[in-house]
Amino acid sequence: MSEPALELKDVRKVYRTATEEIEVLRGINLTVPEGELAVIMGPSGSGKSTLLSIAGGLDKPTAGRVVVGGVDITDMGEEELTKIRARKIGFVFQSFNLIRNYTALENVMLPLLFTGIFDVKEAREIAGKMLEIVGLKGHENKFPSQLSGGQQQRVAIARALAPSPDVVLMDEPTGSLDVDTAAKVLSLVRWLNQALGQTIIIVTHNPEIAELATRTFYIRAGMIYEEPPKKMLIDTIRELKAAGSLEDIRKTQISMLRLKAEALERALRGGKVDPSILEAEVKSLERRIERLEAYA
């Protein structure tokens, strides 16, 4: 049975003003196992963006616990949390959030360097492989202004996946794209989930995105509900599989996971990583490698 990639335990979030308290999240309990593609659906004001911010360590809960890849991040200080986010959590936003004066390759390298465990050569190697996986080989040296919206979002996806995080969080990832481009990006997301075994959580108000999910949750008025799994975009996934070798891509991902494990061990020797946190990270990496080797 898969271990949890993300756990929210009785999470509450209350915003206080001078005159009132606004309870945005009301005792959220959510467990997303490793390898899932979970979609959290809800209208504006339902609390889904707040939930995503807390799950990603960008905001603190008023009460409750947040556990990512076996590590409780709830009470971490900002400096430690920044390093943990870089290694364990990937983000994809509606507006891409690429750095304009950095090339595609440099944008993907950036979170790898933020982890504090990869050197420049390793970051460049991994970034190049990730851009190739998302279909952008040959575009490495282009700036965001030279890429289409769909290509920019692929760079953002490669950037999120590059550090081999425990979970990738996506906030309305197709909100800035036209219908056809959005369909291609979502199909790529589902295929990457299958090919790499990457845990992905998408928050959205778009019911069509639920078609991708292995598990769908609904959030209403700060409370979360689970619905039966939805069907997948089988035909599109078959086309993606036909376009590239899953075996080759899985072997590439295994090599990158092993590279991350080596970098973590090096960081431990240099005193850059807390040994208690490292143990959970290494176990998570080992499980992902085993799962990919089983797929292969």
268 has a pLDDT exceeding 50: yes
Which residue type does 176 have? S
Long-range contacts of 195-198 (CB under 8 A, 24+ apart): 195/246, 195/249, 195/250, 195/253, 196/161, 196/249, 196/250, 196/253, 196/292, 197/34, 197/35, 197/253, 197/288, 197/291, 197/292, 197/295, 198/35, 198/161, 198/168
- Average pLDDT of the residues of the chain: 88
Tens of pLDDT, residue by residue over 22-76, are 999 999 999 999 999 999 988 888 888 899 999 999 999 999 999 999 999 999 9
CATH topology for the 33-58+78-295 domain: Rossmann fold (3.40.50)
Give the pairing type, strands 89-93 and 21-33.
unpaired
Tens of pLDDT, residue by residue over 150-172, are 999 999 999 999 999 999 999 98
Tens of pLDDT, residue by residue over 114-138, are 998 999 999 999 999 999 999 999 9
pLDDT of residue 131: 95
Question: Which residue ranges make up each domain of the chain?
Answer: 33-58+78-295
List CB contacts of 217: < 8 A, sequence separation 6 or more: 30, 38, 39, 40, 41, 224, 225, 226, 227
Tokens of 232: 């997948």
**Stretch (H or E) spanning 25:** strand 21-33
Coil, helix or strand at residue 86: helix
Instruction: Write down how long the chain is.
Output: 296
Tokens of 125: 């190697």
pLDDT of residue 239: 52
- Smallest Cα–Cα separation from 30: which of 58, 15, 50? 50
- Smallest Cα–Cα separation from 168: which of 5, 46, 59, 30? 5
Read off the pLDDT band of 237 (50, 70, 90).
low
- What are the residues facing 203 on neighbouring strands? 40, 171
pTM above 0.75, yes or no: yes
- What are the residues facing 23 on neighbouring strands? 14
